[in-house]
Amino acid sequence: MRAIPLTVTALAAALLLTACDDGGGKKGDGAGSACEIGGVSVEIGSASVAPAAGDTGEIPVSLTNQSASCTLDHFPVVSLGTGETTATVPALKGAKAQQLKLAKGDSASFSISYVRGKDGDKTALAAKTVKITLPGSDTSRSFSWKYGPVAGKADGSGPDATVSAFQQVGD
């Protein structure tokens, strides 16, 4: 009759170990903890601004790790804000996220692509800010959006913009 208590103990241990993992592979995977905005500098680089309604623009975002080794695992979370509403920018369709480990001083980048909307158009998002959150973190940083209104998708599901996967910068 000792088999039942051992089975219950083994099951309880397995559940406790599972509870330690968030299921997203972001923490506790041996590759370091998730990168945090406070330990990583974030810079929005020179943008390829969409000059007129209907044109596509691209905004590069660079990250440099300023602290202990950390991991970027999935896509960045990017949202555009008007001051009254916020819209999340989806990942580029078909893009594959890769796990990147950043040692102190290592850099990575991603880009935000968007279609410029018409000023005053009801379907366009008159964005004033862009908020960036790294995967596995709750901390975010906001920047001014100086690139004009963002067109709405034809199906009305949000802004016509996408976020690319992280890419390692340098060697």
Q: What DSSP letter does each residue of 70-121 carry, written as one string? A: EEEESPPEEEEE-SS-EEEEPBPTT----EEEE-TT-EEEEEEEEEBPPTT-
Q: Which domains does the chain have, with CATH numbers?
A: 32-169 (2.60.40)
The answer to whether the CB of 37 falls within 8 A of the CB of 98 is: no
DSSP state of 166: P
Q: Are strands 167-169 and 77-81 parallel, antiparallel or unpaired?
A: unpaired
Averaged confidence pLDDT in the chain: 83
**130 Cβ contact partners less than 8 Å away, ≥ 6 residues apart:** 44, 59, 78, 79, 80, 81, 112, 142, 143, 144, 145
17-48 pLDDT, tens digit per residue, is 333 333 333 333 445 699 999 899 999 988 89
pLDDT at position 18 is 31
6-15 pLDDT, tens digit per residue, is 333 333 333 3
